[in-house]
Amino acid sequence: MRSSQKRVIKIFLLCILFIIIMNQHTFLITKIFINNITKSEIDYEAYREMKISSDIIDCNNELYDNSNPYFNDIGYITFNMLVNDYDLINKKNKSIKLFVKSLPALTNNEKFIELYNFNKAVFLDLKCFPILKPDYDNINYYYENSWYAHRSYGGDRLHEGTDIFDSDDIKGNIPVVSITDGVVENIGWLEKGGYRIGIRTHSGGYFYYAHLYSYSPNLQKGDMVIAGQLLGFMGNSGYGPEATIDMFPVHLHMGIYVDNNGEMSVNPYYILKALENQSIKNISYMIY
């Protein structure tokens, strides 16, 4: 055998050896990585901040494999939450390849399953932004991240939602629509929430719309609603006995809750930003 052929064979064998070593290294790194994310406890406070980027919410139904119930977009979001300490805004999402490699271990992990079920309740039924803004209407609103801001009415407490304000501060001016399909679970007066509606989705999430000026006609408890359907109009009701108004500027308080042995609120702000920015298709805003 010529020396040149020997060199080729030697190089070929070295390449094979290198590939084997790298695969083993990747396997070990992945195993250590999975062990680290499955052993730590859930940080509920960090999770509830819901630091979600618009791009990860936009990947609707891009991942699906009926052989594994967690190989889907909700599973991918949950995986990235665990990997990135619940911060999907300031930290880069991991690759789908790493997600797939991690799935066998995650599928039997109680922490992953618990967070997956929370995320399913939050994300699965989302379809549109809660403010109806036809092209021909002059509707102006603004909102910011007011999660855990101080509130004092009824005693010191923390704000567990997002307030969307009417820039013109006009009661009954801005239509409020459901951001999901679901069932009207609660409707009527609350001292803090004023005229409010609570929608329970098929996936178990509870979506809360408060301080309304008025309701959509004939809407009542037990009714089915669809995403984009009119619930009422933005107002400033609440902070007193029924019919109290004008205690604060006109706004919609949006709340999102999941079941954690009782209702647990999550921050709607980043979810609303994603719903506002993405292109909503196949949604017909229905006003009754």
pLDDT tens for 61-114 read 556 556 788 989 999 999 999 988 999 999 888 888 888 888 888 888 889 999
Banded model confidence at residue 194, pLDDT cuts 50, 70, 90? very high
* pLDDT at site 74: 92
The C-alpha atoms of residue 260 and residue 236 are separated, in whole angstroms, by: 30
The C-alpha atoms of residue 205 and residue 236 are separated, in whole angstroms, by: 25
| Token representation of residue 213 | 């000026």
What is the mean predicted confidence (pLDDT) over 253-277? 94
* pLDDT at site 280: 42
pLDDT tens for 152-175 read 888 899 999 999 999 999 999 999
Outline where the chain has alpha helix (H): 3-39, 44-48, 54-57, 73-83, 96-106, 110-123, 269-277
Is the CB of residue 176 less than 8 Å from the CB of residue 233?
Answer: yes
The C-alpha atoms of residue 36 and residue 32 are separated, in whole angstroms, by: 6
Q: What is the dihedral of CA 258, 264, 267, 271, to 10 degrees?
A: 0
pTM for this entry: 0.84
* CATH class in words for 141-277: mainly beta
Q: Where are the beta strands (DSSP E) in 97-236?
A: 141-143, 150-151, 157-158, 162-166, 175-177, 182-190, 194-200, 206-215, 224-225, 230-234
Is the CB of residue 14 less than 8 Å from the CB of residue 232?
Answer: no
The C-alpha atoms of residue 64 and residue 124 are separated, in whole angstroms, by: 14
* pLDDT at site 284: 38
The owner of tokens 């979506």 is 207
The CATH 2.70.70.10 domain(s) of the chain lie at 141-277
